[in-house]
């Protein structure tokens, strides 16, 4: 068996049981490994879907330049898919993003425009909106408002979970654009309304790359909040400690948003007698190698003394 090109390898990611995190027999936690997608994150799914939908709608021409405000993963994914389909791509990235992500964008052939770090990801969105007004060749697919974002998860991520684990009882995913929670949430609840959908959201003022706080004022139009049964808040420290623990206990090297969803899943699991929780690990740890956070939290926290032995 072989694939005809790299884009065909998007999706169908492995689902792995995290046995060591189960609080009691009968409660199982499974991780969907989105870091194994070709550009390294869950965003390959939506990049392919959004570009193919825009092509089908006749929005893309040979001189079109795709433009997207992105904290990194969506940009790298769009750079991959655009490049394979022969389109130019420009990413508007907050200065706060990691060097690795910016470097990856450039290596995938994207042009990068930096927006002010102080204005965060909302600043990148505002700048991209201004640029689209100024240059006709720019086409912004805008993941935050594009229904193809959620549709990609309805058609692929959600369908894969139901195929692999039809008796899933809870989904926990991070809240960024809201595409994952909305698309998967719709698909799972159609299968069984009893399936609970829980969002992991950073506490206001806490930075967890890829995730956003709704309290900052921007509610992504693609997010359907009526599908959320619960929303739990996390600090950056909780996310990083769980990310380290995941590496130590299960050998999974994931990014910090994965630690955030794991923390939320463990809180949910605590109150369950039995059931199956699926968590979405949106990317791997590779793009965050330069982060000080891997070691920073260890000095002060009692849990970190244990985790310290892992490094």
Ligand X SMILES: Cc1ncc(COP(=O)(O)O)c(C=O)c1O
Q: Which residues are catalytic?
A: 43, 257
> According to the binding rule CB under 6 A, does residue 175 interact with ligand X?
yes
> According to the binding rule CB under 6 A, does residue 73 interact with ligand X?
yes
Nearer to ligand X, 143 or 304 (CB): 143
Residues 237-296 that bind ligand X (CB under 6 A): 255, 257, 282-283
Query: Vertex 269, ends 243 and 306: CA angle to 5°?
Result: 40
Burial class (CB in 10 A: 0-12, 13-18, 19+), 15: middle
> According to the binding rule CB under 6 A, does residue 179 interact with ligand X?
yes
Q: Indicate which single residue of 120, 123, 174, 185 sits in contact with ligand X (rule: CB under 6 A).
A: 174
The residues near 24 (Cβ < 8 Å, ≥ 6 apart) are: 273
Q: Indicate which single residue of 74, 146, 213, 243 sits in contact with ligand X (rule: CB under 6 A).
A: 74
Residue 107 has phi, psi (to 5 degrees) of -70, -25
Determine which helix (DSSP H) or strand (DSSP E) holds 277, and give its type and residue range: strand 275-281
Task: Give the Cα separation of 50 and 213 in Å (integer).
Answer: 24
Nearer to ligand X, 195 or 200 (CB): 200
Give the range of 56-64, 80-88, 96-104, 205-213 binding ligand X by CB under 6 A: 205-213
Give the range of 10-18, 98-106, 177-185, 232-240 binding ligand X by CB under 6 A: 177-185
Residue closest to ligand X when measured from CB atoms: 210
Give the range of 47-55, 82-90, 169-177, 302-310 binding ligand X by CB under 6 A: 169-177
> According to the binding rule CB under 6 A, does residue 97 interact with ligand X?
no
The least CB distance from residue 25 to ligand X, in Å, is: 30
Task: Give the Cα separation of 199 and 202 in Å (integer).
Answer: 10
Give the range of 8-16, 21-29, 48-56, 68-76 binding ligand X by CB under 6 A: 68-76
Q: Indicate which single residue of 11, 178, 202, 259 sits in contact with ligand X (rule: CB under 6 A).
A: 178
Q: In what order do the strands lie in the sheet with 111-115?
A: 111-115, 88-94, 65-69, 138-140
Query: Vertex 220, ends 161 and 243: CA angle to 5°?
Result: 55
Task: Give the Cα separation of 300 and 149 in Å (integer).
Answer: 40
> According to the binding rule CB under 6 A, does residue 158 interact with ligand X?
no
Of 108, 105, 109, whose CA–CA distance to 92 is shortest?
105
The least CB distance from residue 211 to ligand X, in Å, is: 6
Determine which helix (DSSP H) or strand (DSSP E) holds 279, and give its type and residue range: strand 275-281
> According to the binding rule CB under 6 A, does residue 125 interact with ligand X?
no
The least CB distance from residue 152 to ligand X, in Å, is: 9
Q: Indicate which single residue of 115, 169, 180, 243 sits in contact with ligand X (rule: CB under 6 A).
A: 180
**Rounded (10°) angle between helices 236-250 and 256-270:** 90
Residues 36-65 that bind ligand X (CB under 6 A): 41
Residue 288, CA atoms < 13 Å, CB-side half-sphere: 24
Which residues here bind ligand X, judged by CB under 6 A?
41, 71, 73-74, 174-180, 209-211, 255, 257, 282-283
């Amino acid at each position: 068996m072989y694939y005809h090109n790299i884009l065909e390898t998007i999706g169908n990611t492995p689902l792995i049981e995290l046995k060591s995190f189960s609080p009691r027999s009968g409660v199982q936690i499974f991780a969907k490994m989105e870091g194994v997608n070709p550009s390294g994150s869950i965003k390959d799914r939506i990049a392919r879907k959004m570009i193919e939908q825009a092509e089908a709608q006749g929005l893309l021409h040979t001189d079109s330049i795709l433009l997207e405000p992105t904290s990194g993963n969506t940009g790298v994914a769009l750079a991959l898919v655009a490049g394979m389909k022969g389109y130019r791509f420009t990413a508007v990235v907050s200065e706060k993003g990691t060097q690795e992500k910016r470097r990856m964008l450039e290596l995938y052939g994207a042009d990068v425009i930096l927006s002010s770090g102080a204005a965060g990801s909302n600043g990148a969105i505002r700048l991209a909106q201004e640029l689209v007004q100024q240059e006709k060749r720019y086409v912004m697919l805008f993941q935050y408002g594009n229904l193809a974002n959620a549709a990609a998860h309805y058609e692929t991520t959600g369908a894969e979970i139901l195929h692999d684990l039809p008796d899933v009882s809870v989904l926990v995913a991070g809240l960024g654009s809201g595409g994952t929670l909305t698309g998967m949430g719709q698909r799972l609840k159609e299968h069984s309304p009893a399936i609970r959908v829980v969002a992991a959201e950073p506490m206001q003022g806490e930075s967890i790359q890829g995730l956003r706080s709704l309290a900052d004022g921007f509610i992504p139009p693609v997010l359907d909040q009526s599908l959320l049964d619960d929303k739990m808040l996390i600090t950056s420290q909780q996310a990083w400690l769980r990310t380290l623990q995941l590496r130590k206990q299960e050998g999974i090297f994931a990014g910090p948003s994965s630690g955030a969803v794991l923390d939320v899943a463990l809180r949910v699991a605590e109150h369950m007698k039995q059931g199956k929780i699926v968590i979405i690990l949106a990317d791997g740890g590779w793009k965050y190698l330069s982060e000080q956070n891997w070691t920073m939290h260890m000095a002060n926290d009692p849990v970190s003394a244990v985790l310290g032995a892992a490094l």
